[in-house]
């Protein structure tokens, strides 16, 4: 070899070896210089292991590093940590990580468990731990062909559900928050959490089984995008056109009838690769409800899921403005975007339809904006609280027969 190689026993030996490695970086394999480079590299690694261990970064350092890598903003951590205030406290080092937050960050952002827990070899328990498999609505799910038919479903509940979870993308396809009851502010308190999870997994499984030809580009969904979607409503084929339009932008739209005791209108979910999935139940078969719900969930995609992995929201939109319902700023932001996407705020403020909700005024505003009259009528009905008003405009029975054809008997 070109130089005499000695064991590295001091800091001076270490610096000398590094300098020699730098000289040999262009050495070819199987030459004396190349062999010397290999031996020196091994000696340096051995010295570093013994004398300069890397150690664990702090959990906060690991979170900030992951945010830099993925260009995440603090708001993008809300689905995993719980609220804007909690995110601020965690990033400021004022709030310790709970096991639930650590599990969510590990599952959705890929931060190693041993770094988050500061324990070598530490592992986080499965998100499925503690589920009572026989509490899922197995009979109803079998009747809808969501899971396989078998002689004794209760005896095979875990096997049946794990197959559905696998088809949905695995246990981390749903955010950790979905494993806790009533974690979402706009979710009916009477919701069966097992039925809710089953519905979400089936939505994800259907999306997972039908990949889209276009990869979703982050930051695609903004107010301009929402207004493009809203203008599709003018056609009698509007709901179907919306499905095709979203697919061309890498967004799944899955319409799936709700399960009993879910009290659900829609959801904004993601596949494990980050592809957005909008799920709608169409439990209120009206055009005004369809378009508001669709844009509300798209607002979640644009404002709250952008740059995250594994986030998600579920919504009972009948709870809007109901007294006693917690006021969640995230849901209010989605409401605001949906309303402005359908009817721009400045247009609505100056429209005569607010004072004179006549059929003529409804039609005039709808034609001016290029949207379906159901959207205008629905806004009037919601703001006045009079759901008998303009009922001939809202398109009752005009959605399910188009988007749930395979599920209607």
* 351-371 tens-digit pLDDT: 999 999 999 999 999 999 999
pLDDT of residue 405: 67
Higher pLDDT, 225 or 179: 225
What pLDDT band is residue 409 in, cutting at 50, 70 and 90? very low
- Is 393 in contact with 374 (CB distance < 8 Å)? yes
- Residue carrying structure tokens 């493009």: 228
The answer, yes or no, to whether residue 81 has pLDDT greater than 70, is: yes
Q: Which of 85-89, 125-129, 151-155 has the highest mean pLDDT?
A: 151-155
pTM of the prediction?
Answer: 0.71
pLDDT of residue 120: 63
User: What is the overall mean pLDDT for the chain?
Assistant: 87
| Full strand arrangement of the beta sheet holding 313-315 | 252-255, 276-280, 266-270, 313-315
The answer, yes or no, to whether residue 384 has pLDDT greater than 80, is: yes
pLDDT of residue 381: 96
Higher pLDDT, 171 or 254: 254
CA 170/CA 227 separation, integer angstroms:
34
- Is 66 in contact with 72 (CB distance < 8 Å)? yes
pLDDT of residue 231: 98
Helix (H) or strand (E) holding 18: helix 11-23
What pLDDT band is residue 1 in, cutting at 50, 70 and 90? very low
pLDDT of residue 176: 60
- Is 132 in contact with 88 (CB distance < 8 Å)? no
The answer, yes or no, to whether residue 62 has pLDDT greater than 70, is: yes
Give the pLDDT mean for 70-77: 86
Residue 297: CA atoms inside 13 Å, Cβ hemisphere, count? 30
pLDDT of residue 331: 93
Higher pLDDT, 310 or 81: 81
CA 26/CA 24 separation, integer angstroms:
6
Which range has the worst mean pLDDT, 15-29, 214-228, 237-251, 285-299? 15-29
């Amino acid at each position: 070899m070109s130089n005499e190689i000695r064991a590295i026993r001091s800091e001076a030996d270490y610096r000398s070896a590094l300098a020699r490695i730098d000289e040999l970086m262009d050495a070819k394999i199987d030459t004396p210089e190349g062999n010397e480079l290999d031996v020196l590299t091994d000696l340096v690694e051995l010295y570093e292991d013994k004398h300069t261990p890397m150690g664990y970064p702090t959990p906060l350092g690991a979170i900030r590093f992951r945010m830099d890598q993925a260009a995440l903003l603090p708001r993008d951590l809300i689905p995993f940590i719980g609220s804007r205030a909690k995110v601020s406290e965690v990033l400021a080092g004022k709030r310790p990580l709970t096991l639930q937050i650590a599990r969510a960050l590990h599952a959705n952002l890929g931060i190693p468990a041993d770094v988050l827990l500061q324990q070598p070899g530490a592992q986080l328990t499965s998100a499925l731990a503690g589920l009572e498999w026989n509490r899922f609505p197995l009979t109803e799910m079998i009747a809808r062909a969501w899971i396989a038919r078998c002689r004794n479903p209760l005896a095979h509940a875990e096997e049946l559900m794990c197959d559905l979870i696998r088809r949905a993308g695995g246990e981390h396809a749903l955010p950790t928050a979905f494993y806790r009851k009533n974690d979402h502010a706009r979710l009916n308190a009477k919701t069966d959490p097992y039925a809710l999870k089953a519905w979400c997994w089936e939505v994800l499984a259907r999306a997972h089984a039908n990949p889209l030809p276009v990869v979703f580009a982050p930051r695609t969904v903004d107010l301009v995008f929402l207004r493009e979607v809203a203008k599709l409503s003018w056609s009698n084929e509007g709901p179907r056109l919306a499905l095709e339009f979203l697919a061309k932008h890498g967004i799944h739209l899955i319409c799936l009838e709700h399960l009993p005791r879910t009290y659900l209108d829609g959801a904004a979910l993601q596949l494990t690769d980050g592809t957005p999935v909008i799920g709608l139940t169409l439990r209120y078969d009206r055009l005004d409800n369809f378009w508001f719900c669709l844009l509300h969930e798209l607002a979640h995609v644009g404002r709250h899921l952008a740059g995250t992995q594994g986030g998600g929201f579920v919504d009972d939109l009948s709870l809007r403005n109901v007294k006693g319902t917690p006021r969640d700023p995230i849901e209010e932001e989605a409401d605001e975007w949906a309303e402005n996407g359908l009817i721009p705020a400045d247009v609505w403020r100056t429209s005569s339809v607010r004072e004179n909700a006549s059929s003529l005024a409804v039609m005039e505003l709808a034609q001016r904006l290029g949207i379906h009259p159901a959207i205008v009528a629905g806004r009037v009905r919601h703001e006045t609280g009079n759901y008998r008003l303009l009922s001939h405009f809202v398109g009752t029975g005009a959605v399910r027969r188009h988007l749930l054809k395979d599920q209607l008997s």
